[in-house]
Chain A
Amino acid sequence: MANKSGSIYGLTILSPVKDDPHAEISPSLAVRMYLQTLPVDGRGPFGRVSSTHMARLVVLDDVVYFGMPSCEEHLKSKYLIFESNFDGELEPYLKQLAAEASDEVHNIWQHCIGYPGVQNVDAFIAYMKRCQVETTFYFADVNNKTVQQTLQALQTQSAVASFIEKNQGKPSEELQPAFIEFMSRLNKAPRPKPGSTKGKELTDELL
């Protein structure tokens, strides 16, 4: 199934943006303006929807064809493109999105045709699935590991590198107890939070 690469789901959603000749602000501009206000780090909505590896929201106005012979084509409407790489299956993910980021989801998708709101979760899921485009050529660069596994691996890598740097070349009788003690501290260390950029600081504290 092309939407998945191992355990990672590659979601592509195209939601048609409303065309409202009476609107004070064009709905596509309203989406863009709102998107610009969202934090892009762990404080953003996808920091809460913690199975998200990466997500992107784009407003696509139209397609433009360059080249010869010229062939003028247009989209039927403007589209909101939502792309997300996440762990697991689609329905639980959309459910989590509706629950953990309901305000943001509403503020974004309210400008889209057919959006039923997030209160009725089943209707929301059905709507999103109707807008889904199969991801036919999907590259997941996260080695089939979950967000949590990836963050933990980064933390471990950084910590182990620091350990090696401090201890390489020591005789085995010193190295082994140092390593056992290091592993015990590493295992008890707090795990980095999704969206966190604090891996290095956590490691420094730990060592």
Chain B
Amino acid sequence: MSKLDITDIQGFALRGYNFPFARFLFLKISDKQKGRECIGRLVKYITTGERWDQGKPKTTVNIAFTYKGLVALGLPEPSLLSFPVEFVQGMKARGAILSDTGKNSPHHWDAVWEHEVHAWLGVFAQSQPDLEYQCSELLTLLQESGGATKIDSQDAGALQINGQITTKEHFGYTDGFGNPEFMGVEKDSQPGQGKLTADGKWTPLATGELLLEYADEAGELPVAPLPHLLASNGTFMVYRKLHQNVATFRKYLKEKGALYPGGTEKLASKFIGRWRDGTPVELSPSEPSPAIVGDKSRNVNFTFGNDLDGARCPVGAHVRRTNPRDAFGFNGKLINRRRISRRGMPYGPYTPEDQPGTDDEEHGMIFMALNASLFRQFEFVQQQWIEYGNDARQGNDKDILIGNHGGSGKVMIQGTTDPNNPPFLCGALPNFVELRGGDYFFVPSITALRMIAANSVDPR
């Protein structure tokens, strides 16, 4: 394939920025014509995939639209009708497939989702003042344009522990490992990302698993809107605000950890497949290893083929469910069309480890993921691997960490005859994580943004 035109692709689609501060603005397009003019003025702020040889900028800005947003911007009907159905329906309508029921149902979502959200404006910054400055500049632009208004915003940011910016999330795990690698996307190559080859090596996934109008792993073009230029270099984004019940998690882990012969920290590592410092349990089942965490040639470089019974990494551990690598055989070929690029970021203040924490406080994870097909990639992972266990041979059991357990879930932690690594059953599982809203967004290329702004989207 040819080299990607990285300055035409929104940077957020190509890489996680690793900035410590972020704000996500949810917009309503108030007027078709003025809305398009507003997009036209916003384009120059949009961060592309351009190389940062001179260092990172102070802030980044990216934009994405819901289906209703594209309607509000007056895209021609033949274009609108060509979008994939799951995007047209939006995340709320897909609740039954995603198990967004019970405590995860829209009834419990933030008020912003009672509105018709048209656009997402994502701002990342190196510092809080930079964030404030950039957001205020953007809000002034919106106001002046008269084309879009802010409905609400969501702040997020790296957790700060003792004044230090960290890569931890609220349950104490180090996050941000293991995003897939795609052909043509420049990044520091790490063995363990991308896909497995027959000889056990790792190679990037087809570009079409991430970006529209490129061949995917089946050698086909992903379902994409018309015309070609509207879709090309674009992608789809999932936005989900995942509230974390810190008190419930800590209490559960403490209670079960007291019963588990390997101890609390080992049990915590079995839940997700990494020790809390990030060490993969598959590589170091008995203890965390800072040497492995710090080694990019090792920290995502593992397979499950020699651990099919889950003695080291439980079959239902979070990282194994969501990226089973070779666990289903066939050199991992069964999973290459189910990979997503995550861009998660915590929100809310960190609760020190020695405190019980609360469930009610505003704290959690803004889960964002990019993929060419919401249906084939994100929705499949959510439905089949998070909320169901058959592929992992775990029956109806759900992902221990983010499953919608409703208080009656159970998960088996496999083990061995080693008294420090016995099989252990975690029952009466509550929801450690609850959905507080979200939607599906289209992330257009810079060309497509300009076409939308110029009202020149022509599907004929």
| Contact surface of A with B, Cβ cutoff 8 Å | 157, 161-162, 164-165, 168-169
Contacts and interface: CB of A to CB of B under 8 A. Distances in A.
Contacts of B428: 165
Interface of B: 259, 261, 395, 410, 412, 424-428
A28 to B, nearest CB: 27
A157 B427 CA distance: 13
A173 to B, nearest CB: 18
18 contacts: A157-B395, A161-B410, A161-B412, A161-B425, A161-B427, A162-B427, A164-B425, A164-B427, A165-B410, A165-B425, A165-B426, A165-B427, A165-B428, A168-B259, A168-B424, A168-B425, A169-B259, A169-B261
Contacts of A168: 259, 424-425
A157 B412 CA distance: 12
Given A161-B425, A168-B424, A169-B261, 7 more contacts: A164-B427, A165-B425, A165-B426, A165-B427, A165-B428, A168-B259, A168-B425
A162 B426 CA distance: 10
Nearest to B428: A165
Contacts of B412: 161
Contacts of B395: 157
Of B259, B425, B427, most buried by chain A (CB within 10 Å of CB) is B425
Contacts of A165: 410, 425-428
A171 to B, nearest CB: 13
Contacts of A157: 395
B393 to A, nearest CB: 11
Closest 4 CB pairs of A and B: A165-B427, A164-B425, A169-B259, A165-B425
Nearest to A164: B425
Nearest to A163: B425
Contacts of B410: 161, 165
A161 B412 CA distance: 9
Contacts of B424: 168
Nearest to B397: A161
B448 to A, nearest CB: 29
Nearest to B260: A169
Contacts of A161: 410, 412, 425, 427
B63 to A, nearest CB: 37
A164 B261 CA distance: 15
A157 B393 CA distance: 13
A168 B424 CA distance: 8
A168 B428 CA distance: 14
B216 to A, nearest CB: 19
